[in-house]
Amino acid sequence: MIKAESTRLRVTLCLNKSDLVSPTTLEQWQNRLITWGYDPIFLSVQQRRTYLRDPQPWVDQLIDQPIPLLEQLQDRVTVVSGPSGVGKSSLINWLIPQTDLRVGAVSGKLGRGRHTTRHVELFHLPTGGLLADSPGFNQASLTCEPQELIHYFPEARHLLENGTCQFSDCLHRDEPNCAVRGDWERYEHYLNFLEKTIAYQEITQQQPDVETSVKAKDIAGGAQHYEPKLELKKYRRSSRRSQHQALQTVYEGMTQEEIIASEDAAENA
């Protein structure tokens, strides 16, 4: 979510597979995500179901089109982004009946997606607008300026709209008269990510060229390490989908290695 916010595009949170949890769990998640500054949409693409909260209490209405989502997509260009296996391609198959995108079962052992989609492709929505499918990712990397990070948390943006920190370069840690520091659920996450962005900034300042040659990657335990990016021209094979690949490189959710690994897996299948 923070990665998505860092694009500065408008972010809509859409939670699929709502058939797998109870209405109580959905309601708890809805309330929680509202405190994070979102107005999430809950779907079950499999059951062609949109969970509407209005009128109260939760009613799961069977409607054949996810109206709240379609309203948000109308006349806009939207990219569907998220981890592998969450149902991005399934959603597009539902919204645009002419598409017949490949969907892949989640791996039983790992409970992870199988990187079924391997390129970005745009489709016309019947209601107007364009929708792009995209490859799922395992871990998103974050390489932003420490000062920027706070703006990627909608609930903190809201605090900054209603107050001002004493220092214009406040990082909202232990500075006096900070309008942001405080009792919000993701504040600890903010501090954790802040450390990573500071570490990344230190590395890029030491080596001016590093930003273009390394990629930050989250590893287990919340640590981050930096690995070299592959040079595209040298290592990537040309393929029938070459026209899609320019778009694919724009898509930062996957490392080049992941893209190549998924292409190799497909070729060997």
Interface residues with Mg ion (CB under 5 A) are 88-89, 116-117
Q: Which residues lie closer than 8 Å to 60 by C-beta, 6 or more apart?
A: 18, 23, 49, 51, 52
Residue 76 CB, nearest approach to ligand GTP (Å)? 20
The yes or no reply on residue 68 touching ligand GTP (CB under 6 A) is: no
In the complex, minimum distance from the CB of residue 267 to Mg ion, in angstroms, rounded to a whole number:
18
Give, as ranges, the residues between 98 and 157 that touch ligand GTP (CB under 6 A): 103-106, 113-117, 135-136
Should residue 50 be labelled a site residue for ligand GTP when binding is judged by CB under 6 A? no
Give yes or no for a contact between 193 and 2, defined as CB atoms under 8 angstroms apart: yes
Residue nearer to ligand GTP on the CB measure, 195 or 257: 257
81 binds ligand GTP (CB under 6 A): no
Instruction: Give the nearer residue to ligand GTP in terms of CB position, either 117 or 143.
Output: 117
Strands 130-133 and 224-228: unpaired
User: Based on CB atoms, which residue is closest to ligand GTP, 37 or 135?
Assistant: 135
214 interface partner picked from Mg ion, Zn ion, ligand GTP, none, CB below 5 to 8 A per type: none
CB of 103 to ligand GTP, least distance (A): 3
Cα–Cα distance for residue pair 240/68, rounded to 1 Å: 37
Which residue has tokens 């492709």?
Answer: 121
Nearer to Mg ion, 88 or 186 (CB): 88
Tell me whether strands 14-15 and 121-124 are parallel, antiparallel or unpaired: unpaired
115 interacts with Zn ion by CB under 5 A: no
CA nearest to 150, candidates 137, 139, 164: 164
Contact 61, 52 (CB under 8 A): yes
How far apart, in whole angstroms, are the C-alpha atoms of residue 7 and residue 189? 19
For residue 197, the partner it binds in Mg ion, ligand GTP, Zn ion, none, with Cβ less than 5 to 8 A by kind, is none
